[in-house]
Amino acid sequence: MRSLYLLIVFAMVAAFGCSKKNKPVGKDEYVTLSYKQTFCADPWPTASSDSLTLVNVANYLNTNGLYIAGLSIKNESNPELCLACVCKTGKVIYVSTLNSTNLTEKYVQIGFK
């Protein structure tokens, strides 16, 4: 009797515990936005290194109540040949956040795309 009971429990666990969902976890829940860094016209303080830049970006976004799921910076091209503040450094800052219209609109207002 005990082995029949264990067999039934095992069959139920196998049937319900191993079911697959049609939608992968996290799909469509997050969005990644990009920002082309300038030499000194960004809304956060300019820093001497990428790691300090990311700290400044995170502080700025947190201060403005924006959710950050991930933050990175990549050197994707050569710097522009001008020395004005608005010239691009060739680096792109990426932020991952919740895929919410309200939230992404706030990021777009700052300059993320």
Tokens linked to 71 = 């933050």
* Residue 81 C-alpha from the chain's centroid: 30
If pLDDT is split at 50, 70 and 90, which confidence band does 7 have? very low
Tokens 């969902």 sit at which residue? 21
Report which secondary-structure segment, H or E, holds 9: helix 2-17
Surface-to-core class of residue 53, CB atoms within 10 Å of its CB (0-12 exposed, 13-18 middle, 19+ buried): buried
pLDDT tens, position by position, 56-110: 999 999 999 999 999 999 999 999 999 899 999 999 999 999 999 999 999 999 9
Q: For residue 9, what pLDDT is reported?
A: 52
pTM as predicted: 0.74
Q: What percent of the chain has pLDDT over 70?
A: 76
pLDDT tens, position by position, 62-75: 999 999 999 999 99
**Extents of the domains making up the chain:** 29-110
- What order of strands is seen across the sheet that includes strand 88-98? 30-38, 88-98, 70-75
For residue 58, the tally of other CB atoms under 10 A from its CB is 15
Are 113 and 33 in contact by the 8 Å Cβ rule? The answer is: yes
Tokens 């829940």 sit at which residue? 29
Handedness of CA 19, 20, 23, 26 (dihedral sign): positive
**Residue 1: pLDDT over 90:** no
**Residue 21: pLDDT over 70:** no
Q: For residue 83, what pLDDT is reported?
A: 81
Among 4-8, 45-49, 74-78, the range scoring the smallest mean pLDDT is 4-8
Angle at 61 between CA 58 and CA 65, to 5 degrees: 130
